[in-house]
Structure 1
């Protein structure tokens, strides 16, 4: 339960930082945040650690937690690495996904389309996460999956915010998902690899565009 609470707090705070509602340089005190969300300090501490891992805050001994401006070059580096990892996952998924995983991929795509039709950005962001993580799983390479998931978690706030803040990103993302899923289901490994890498590159461009617009 506390892990779920920490994740909710993490996403809420990340959204506030990326939208500019919490400004760079602002201090974040555990007890103040705990009072704001009506929880104990434990999930808040976990959420702040997650924010630090993404580069959105800095934690210093005896100085507490401070919101920072993540360097654009660091964001580009992480997206570049994730793009290569996800492209490899997509290629392997096209070759290795089980029939059950392929059916699940089709179901997740239906959820993406439903969220898109309803213009429900939160549901789309949730379905987007399921889409990518299923492709990691479908690679049937545990080491690759673990590395990709760890990097996804660091970049997730930036990708998620683009669905809420960048005009047209959700529609473009769905179109890209359609191409990736069709390539995987058709067992076209090279096309799946190329389309996934392009998809992550577009996510990078939108995340950087949004981040720089807040400065």
Structure 2
């Protein structure tokens, strides 16, 4: 179950991303406590999460300041993530163990079952496991840590595409190509399949963010 602090984090993150909370705007603990009718403890936890994702700059004992993230900066981060995920997938195809490959297959099957049931939340949870297993399967801690840090910063931006028609089906079809290449230990096809998957997602995210920001201007 999602905690109060995470619910507040998601609301504030959405408002920062769509421009409701402008760059340079102050997020005061007292004001936020009054707004959400909670104590300052979950507010502090929410602000720390926003800071960890690079959305605000914390100010000790006060709150935070909304950081300016331009579309160009977002595009740069998404481009970097595309290349890192593709590289990770290439290495994974060469290094993933037989046990990990079987786990990947099982996650993929379970994901299809979620789509058939209309279980979006379940699918998204399995999606995280699918990508995490590929990351771990590369057996390169430095690469995995770098990806994890960048993924944290991009999580809320990527979530902006929620509710798009057929997105889970398209995602699953792309996962199918990725998995097939990994199981075949084909490094180049794995790289291309993951890069295509990540690039489509990145392009879509940028389009959604542009539309959101245009509405608030």
Which TM-score band applies after superposition, normalised by the shorter structure?
Answer: 0.7 to 0.9
CA RMSD of aligned residues (A): 3.0
**1:93 alignment partner in structure 2:** 92
What SS does structure 2 have at the residue aligned with 1:214? helix
What SS does structure 1 have at the residue aligned with 2:64? strand
Q: Which has the higher mean CA deviation after the structures are superposed, 38-47 or 81-90?
A: 38-47
What SS does structure 2 have at the residue aligned with 1:28? strand
Aligned residues: 211
The higher radius of gyration belongs to 2
- The answer for unaligned runs of 5 or more in structure 2 is none
Map residues 51-62 of structure 1 onto 2, 5 A cutoff: 51-59=50-58
Q: 1:70 to 1:171 in 2, by over 3 A?
A: farther
Q: Which has the higher mean CA deviation after the structures are superposed, 185-194 or 26-35?
A: 26-35
Task: Give the structure-1-normalised TM-score.
Answer: 0.82
Q: 1:149 to 1:182 in 2, by over 3 A?
A: same
Map residues 15-54 of structure 1 onto 2, 5 A cutoff: 15=14, 17-18=16-17, 20=18, 23-25=20-22, 27-33=26-32, 41-54=40-53
**1:173 alignment partner in structure 2:** 171
CA contact (8 A) 1:169 1:206 kept: no
Q: 1:58 to 1:95 in 2, by over 3 A?
A: same
- The answer for unaligned runs of 5 or more in structure 1 is none
The Cα offsets for residues 82-141 of structure 1, whole Å up to 9 and x where unpaired, read as: 111111111111111112211211122123222322333322222221111111100011
1: CA distance between counterparts of 2:108 and 2:141?
24
2: CA distance between counterparts of 1:142 and 1:149?
10
Task: Give the structure-2-normalised TM-score.
Answer: 0.81
